[in-house]
């Protein structure tokens, strides 16, 4: 839909996250339809954007939730996602998180080590409940993405090797408290190559076949997330080809395909709207200083990530566009949002639009420099509404203030 960013920036202030819920629906539907003819569950990776309204929107479309902390599980529940559509992954679950997840009766606890399996077994025994589990296999496949978001190599901390997985499945099958019904892999994020997925899916499907031969019946084949999107000029994976590669790998097996996309569903459906504060030059270098910063959108600072920045003002009479570094007010040289951004001369109050900020934008925001986190707006079928208030100074100090009062 056409969004009047100027109007919403005026109404709710900047920096402001704006999400297009129609676009999210289209992204979800495209992926779900790619798996038609196959039992499938799209479990939205809540970490990408965990606003309750975003989760609820996807939940109403039929999505489940892939969570990495009990906080995310509780968010998914609060947003109305049914427990049997929730998966809990992560390398370091605490006993209390395991207990709560079992009490919530979620679909799967995804295990990432033998030690963790023993903890889950112990907690399940205490509760007198059988834990439905899946095991994350690390297939040692190079996903050809940024090293910080690559996860399927033995050098990464995620998952277990295939031989170890097999031993764990045998142990789980013989345990009264563990029900091994799922298998999982996730090789990385922002993937643009299909081959590593084909390779990993093939290896893991072979493991499912050899497990069946020894009486371990896997029902959920979880292929993780990772589908890349366009930030600059990437050539993203075609979702139909992606679904076909997976369907092909599991041919002959009776499985529900679980897929855990985050970025693909919400990444291109979000923008960070920011206002220019000042322009300055240091020597030859031109800086445009805006009111958003690395605490609002960390991806450029953390991964050197590119986000397209568009001027929302009429630059016609402002002269030629020249390269500028777009930076925030935070006291770090790493606080930049765009480098070599071609912009005409800017004036205080001009609006800039930072694209593809729907995933890992707000969720990675912080209060660094005691900056309140941005407000969030959702637009759907021609209307926009506030889905999170701007964080105030009082919000930020609330937990500290309680202690001040206690001490008189």
Is there a catalytic annotation at residue 331? yes
Binding of residue 189 to ligand LLP (CB under 6 A): yes
| Interface pick for ligand LLP out of 132, 299, 355, 373 (rule CB under 6 A) | 299
Q: How far apart are CA 43 and CA 73, in angstroms?
A: 12
SS3 of 159, please? coil
What mask, x for binding ligand LLP by CB under 6 A, covers residues 22 to 61?
-----------------------x--x-------------
| Strand partners of residue 39 | none
| Interface pick for ligand LLP out of 23, 57, 93, 186 (rule CB under 6 A) | 186
Site size for ligand LLP, by CB under 6 A?
A: 21
Q: How far apart are CA 324 and CA 276, in angstroms?
A: 12
Q: For residue 174, what are the contacts with CB-CB under 8 A and spacing of at least 6?
A: none
Q: Which span sits near ligand LLP by CB under 6 A: 18-26, 186-194, 210-218, 313-321?
A: 186-194
Binding of residue 355 to ligand LLP (CB under 6 A): no
Binding of residue 261 to ligand LLP (CB under 6 A): yes
Give min distance, CB of 226 to ligand LLP, in A. Answer: 4
Give min distance, CB of 10 to ligand LLP, in A. Answer: 29
Binding of residue 264 to ligand LLP (CB under 6 A): yes
Q: How far apart are CA 18 and CA 245, in angstroms?
A: 34
Q: Which is nearer to ligand LLP, 192 or 396 (CB)?
A: 192
Other C-beta atoms closer than 10 Å to the C-beta of 345 total 16
Q: Which is nearer to ligand LLP, 15 or 188 (CB)?
A: 188
| Interface pick for ligand LLP out of 59, 139, 152, 226 (rule CB under 6 A) | 226
Show the tokens assigned to 164: 């170890």
State which of positions 96-125 bind ligand LLP (CB under 6 A).
Answer: none
Catalytic residue (one of 259, 331, 379, 384): 331
Show the tokens assigned to 245: 């590669």
97-106, long-range: CB < 8 A, 24+ apart: 97/69, 97/70, 98/123, 98/131, 99/123, 99/126, 99/127, 100/70, 100/73, 100/74, 101/70, 101/73, 102/127, 102/129, 102/131, 103/127, 103/129, 104/73, 104/77, 106/73
Q: Which is nearer to ligand LLP, 292 or 324 (CB)?
A: 292
Give min distance, CB of 64 to ligand LLP, in A. Answer: 12
Q: Please report, for the chain, how many H helices and E strands are present, in that order.
A: 12, 17
Binding of residue 149 to ligand LLP (CB under 6 A): yes
Binding of residue 258 to ligand LLP (CB under 6 A): no
Q: How far apart are CA 200 and CA 191, in angstroms?
A: 13
Q: Which residues bind ligand LLP (CB under 6 A)?
A: 45, 48, 66, 89, 149, 151, 186, 189-190, 224-227, 260-264, 299, 359-360
């Amino acid at each position: 839909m056409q969004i009047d960013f100027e109007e919403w920036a005026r109404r709710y202030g900047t920096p402001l996250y704006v999400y297009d819920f129609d676009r999210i629906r289209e992204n979800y539907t495209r992926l779900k339809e790619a798996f038609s003819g196959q039992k499938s569950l799209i479990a939205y990776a809540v970490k990408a954007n965990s606003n309750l309204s975003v989760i609820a929107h996807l939940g109403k479309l039929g999505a489940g939730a892939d969570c990495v902390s009990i906080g995310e599980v509780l968010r998914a529940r609060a947003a109305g996602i049914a427990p049997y559509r929730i998966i809990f992954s992560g390398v370091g679950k605490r006993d209390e998180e395991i207990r709560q997840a079992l009490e919530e009766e979620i679909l799967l606890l995804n295990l990432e080590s033998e030690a963790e399996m023993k903890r889950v077994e112990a907690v399940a025994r205490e509760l007198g409940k059988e834990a439905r589990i899946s095991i994350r296999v690390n297939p040692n496949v190079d996903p050809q993405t940024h090293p910080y978001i690559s996860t399927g190599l033995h050098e990464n901390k995620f998952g277990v090797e295939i031989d170890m997985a097999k031993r764990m499945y045998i142990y789980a099958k013989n345990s009264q408290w563990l029900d091994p019904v799922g298998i999982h892999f996730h090789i990385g994020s922002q993937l643009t190559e299909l081959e590593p997925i084909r390779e990993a899916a093939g290896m893991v499907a072979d493991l499912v076949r050899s497990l069946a031969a020894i009486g371990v019946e896997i029902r959920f084949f979880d292929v993780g997330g990772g589908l890349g999107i366009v930030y600059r000029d990437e050539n993203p994976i075609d979702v139909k080809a992606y679904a076909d590669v997976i369907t092909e790998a599991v041919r002959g097996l009776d499985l529900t395909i679980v897929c855990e996309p985050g970025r693909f569903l919400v990444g291109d459906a979000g923008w960070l709207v920011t206002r220019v504060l000042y322009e300055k030059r240091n020597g030859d270098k031109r800086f445009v200083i805006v009111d958003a910063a690395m605490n609002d959108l960390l991806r450029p600072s953390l991964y050197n990530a590119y986000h397209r920045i568009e001027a929302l003002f009429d630059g016609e009479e402002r002269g030629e566009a020249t390269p500028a570094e777009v930076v925030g007010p935070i006291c770090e040289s790493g606080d930049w949002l765009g480098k070599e951004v071609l912009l005409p001369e800017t004036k205080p109050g001009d609006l800039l639009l930072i694209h593809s900020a729907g995933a890992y934008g707000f969720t990675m925001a912080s209060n660094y420099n005691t900056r309140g986190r941005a407000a969030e707006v959702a637009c759907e079928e021609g209307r926009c509404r506030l889905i999170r208030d701007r964080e105030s100074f009082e919000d930020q100090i609330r937990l500290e203030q309680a202690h001040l009062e206690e001490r008189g």
